[in-house]
Amino acid sequence: MSCIRIGLVGIGKIARDQHLPVIAANPDYRLAAVASRQGHVDGVPTFPNLTALLAGAGDVDAISLCTPPQARHALARQALEAGKHVMLEKPPGATLTEVYDLIDLARAKGLALLATWHSRYAPAVEPARSWLLGKKLLRVHVCWKEDVRHWHPGQEWIWAPGGLGVFDPGINALSIITHLLPNALIVDKATLEVPANRQAPIAATLEMHDHQGLAVTAEFDWRQTGPQTWDIIIETDQGTLTLSRGGAVMSIDGVAQIEQKEQEYTHLYALFARLVAERRVDADLAPLRIVADAYMLGRWVRVEDFVE
C-alpha cells in the first residue's frame, strides 16, 4: 500500500497530544496539509479551512477531523464528496442522523470512513473481553469522574448543544462497555444535571439493562477534583473484574493483572490505514445511541452555575 497523504483539520489539544505524534511515527502516512483557524504545524502547508485545503492540497488521500462535533458533519460530507477517506474524532457527530448520512455517503462512493472510539484500544480492554467469555455477568457499574477545568479549560463548544457536556468523556466509558458486553443496552432512567448558565450536563446518572436482565449503572461527573476516576466494575459468577485508569489497568478481585502504557491512537491509525486500503466503513454508533437515549428519557435537573 502506498503512503497515505493525510490532511488534519483542527489543530487543538487532541490533535497535538495524539494525532500529530502518531501520524509522524507511522510510515503508512505522510502529513500533507493541515487546516486550522489558529494552529499550524511547522513545515506542513497550513490552510484556514477545509475548503482552502482541498483547493490547495487536493492530492490528499484522506482527511482526519479533530474539530468539535457540531461542525464535523458538514466537513466530513465535504471531504467525502471530494473523494477523500475520512476519520472522525469521537463523538463522530452531534446527532445520530448526521453519522448515518456519512455512512451512507461513504459506502455509496466506496470510501473509507472511521468513527473512532479510542478507549476501546486501551491496553486492558481486549484482555478483559477475553476474561469475560463464558462467565455469567451479574452487575456492571461505571464510575467516570474528572475535573472539566483541567481537561477542557475554556472550551465553550463542549457546553453548547451538540457538545455533549459530561458525556464527552463519559462516551469513552460507554464505548468500552458496549464493546465488552454481549447484548445491546437499553436506557431505563437517566438524570442529567445541567448548570443554570450552560446548555449541556455537568453530571449524569444512568440505569440500563439488556434483554437478559443484566443491570448496568453509570455515573458521570465533571466536578471531581484531586485524583480522577475512570473505572468500570463488572461482577461475574467467577469474580469481579475492574478496569481502571480508563482501561489501562485490569484487576480481578482486587489483584492487578494488566497495567500497560496506552497506545490507543496508534491502533486507530493502523485500523484507518486498513480501511483505506479496503475502502471500508467502520462506524459503530452504540455509544452515541446510549447518549441520545439518555437525552430523550432523562430528567433534567438545574444546578448551580458553572464558573471556570
Active site residues: 90
CA gyration radius for the chain? 20
Cell readout for 283 is 462506524
Cell readout for 38 is 489558529
Burial of 308 by CB count in 10 Å (0-12 exposed, 13-18 middle, 19+ buried)? exposed
Size (the chain), residues: 308
Q: Are strands 239-244 and 229-236 parallel, antiparallel or unpaired?
A: antiparallel
Cell readout for 42 is 511547522
Which residue reads 467467577 in cell numbers?
238
E strands along 179-293, which residues?
Answer: 186-195, 203-209, 215-221, 229-236, 239-244, 249-252, 255-259, 281-282
Q: Helix (H, G, I), strand (E, B), or coil: what is residue 144? A: strand
